[in-house]
Amino acid sequence: MYCPYLLLLLSLGVSAVEVQRPRGVPLSKRQFYEEGKPFTCLDGSRTIPFDRVNDDYCDCQDGSDEPGTAACPNGSFHCTNAGFRPAFIPSSRINDGICDCCDTTDEYNSGAACQNTCRELGRKERESLQKMAEIAKEGFMLKQQLIQEAKRGLEEKKGKLAEVQTSKKDLEDKVEALRSVKEAAEQPEKEAKERHLKAWEDQKAVIRKEKDMAKMAAVFLELDADADGSVSVAELLLHSELDQDSDGTFTETEAQGLLGGVDKVDTVAFEAVWSNIKDKYISEAKADTTAPVETPQEETRESVSDTDSEQYPEDDIPEDEEEEDEDDEDEDPDDGEYKSPPTTRTQEKKDDEDEGTMPPYDQETQNLIDTAQKARNEFDEAERALREVDDQIRNIEKEISFDFGPSAEFGYLYNQCYELTTSEYIYRLCPFSRVSQKPKYGGSETSLGTWGKWAGPDDNVYSVMKYEHGTGCWQGPNRSTTVKLTCGKETVVTSTSEPSRCEYLMEFTTPAVCQEPPSLDSMHPDHEEL
Tell me the pLDDT band of 453, cut-offs 50, 70 and 90.
very high
14 band by pLDDT with thresholds 50, 70 and 90: very low
Categorize the per-residue pLDDT at 137 as very low, low, confident or very high, splitting at 50, 70 and 90.
Answer: confident
The answer to whether 88 and 76 have CB atoms below 8 angstroms apart is: yes
Residue 509: pLDDT over 50 = yes
Q: What confidence tier does 234 reach under pLDDT thresholds 50, 70, 90? A: confident
pLDDT class of 184 with cuts at 50, 70, 90: very high
pLDDT for residue 332: 45
For 240-247, what is the mean pLDDT? 81
pLDDT of residue 241: 85
User: Could you give the C-alpha distances from 74 to 27, 62, 211, in angstroms and in order?
Assistant: 20, 7, 116
pLDDT on residue 128: 84
Report residue 48's pLDDT band, with 50, 70 and 90 as the boundaries. very high
The DSSP secondary-structure symbol of 16 reads: B
Q: Confidence class of residue 159 from pLDDT cuts 50, 70 and 90?
A: very high
pLDDT category of residue 7 using cuts at 50, 70 and 90: very low
Q: Is 514 a residue whose pLDDT tops 80?
A: yes
Contacts of range 35-40, beta carbons closer than 8 Å, 24 or more positions apart: 39/65
The predicted pLDDT at position 347 comes to 57
Average per-residue pLDDT for the chain: 83
Q: Which has more confidence, 298 or 448?
A: 448
- Domain residue ranges in the chain: 411-510
pLDDT value of position 306: 44
Q: How far apart are CA 498 and CA 500, in angstroms?
A: 5
Residue 447 pLDDT: 96
Identity of the residue numbered 309: S
The secondary element (H helix, E strand) that includes residue 425 is strand 425-430
Q: Determine the Cα–Cα distance for residues 120 and 111; give it in Å rounded to an integer.
A: 23
pLDDT at 40: 95
Residue 482's DSSP bridge partners are 466, 505
Comparing CA positions, the residue from 324, 311, 342, 333 lying closest to residue 234 is 311
> How high is the pLDDT of residue 162?
92
Whether pLDDT at 164 is above 50: yes
211-232 pLDDT, tens digit each: 989 899 888 888 888 888 888 8
pLDDT tens digit string along 100-136?
Answer: 999 999 999 988 999 999 999 989 888 888 888 888 8
* More confidently predicted of 501 and 520: 501
More confident of the two residues 379 and 286: 379
Contact 424, 440 (CB under 8 A): yes
**Given pLDDT bands bounded at 50, 70 and 90, which one contains residue 312?**
very low
The per-residue pLDDT for range 381-407, each reduced to its tens digit, is: 999 999 999 999 999 998 888 899 999
- What pLDDT shows up at residue 222? 86
Cα angle for residues 421, 427, 433 (degrees, 5° grid): 145
> Strand, coil or helix: what is 528?
strand
Residue 173 has pLDDT above 50, yes or no: yes
**CA 76 to CA 67: how far, in whole Å?**
6
DSSP secondary structure of 83-133: TS--EEEEGGGTTSSS--STT-GGGTTS-------HHHHHHHHHHHHHHHH
Q: What is the mean pLDDT of residues 395-424?
A: 92
- For 411-510, the fitting CATH number among 3.90.1150.10, 2.170.190.11, 2.70.130.10, 1.10.1200.10 is 2.70.130.10
- The confidence score (pLDDT) of residue 337 equals 43
Q: Answer whether residue 291 shows pLDDT above 50.
A: no
For the cut 50, the answer to whether the pLDDT of residue 339 exceeds it is no
Q: Would you place residue 351 in the very low, low, confident or very high pLDDT band (cuts 50, 70, 90)? A: low
- What whole-number distance in Å separates Cα of residue 39 and Cα of residue 66? 11
% residues pLDDT > 90 (the chain) = 54
pLDDT value of position 250? 84
- Cα 223 from Cα 221, distance rounded (Å): 6
Select the highest-mean-pLDDT range: 243-247, 306-310, 494-498.
Answer: 494-498
**What is the pLDDT at residue 8?**
46
**Per-residue pLDDT, 263:** 86
- Would the pLDDT of 336 be above 70? no
What is the mean pLDDT of the segment spanning 88-102? 94
Using left for φ > 0, alpha for ψ between -120 and 50, and beta otherwise, residue 471 falls in beta
pLDDT at 426: 95
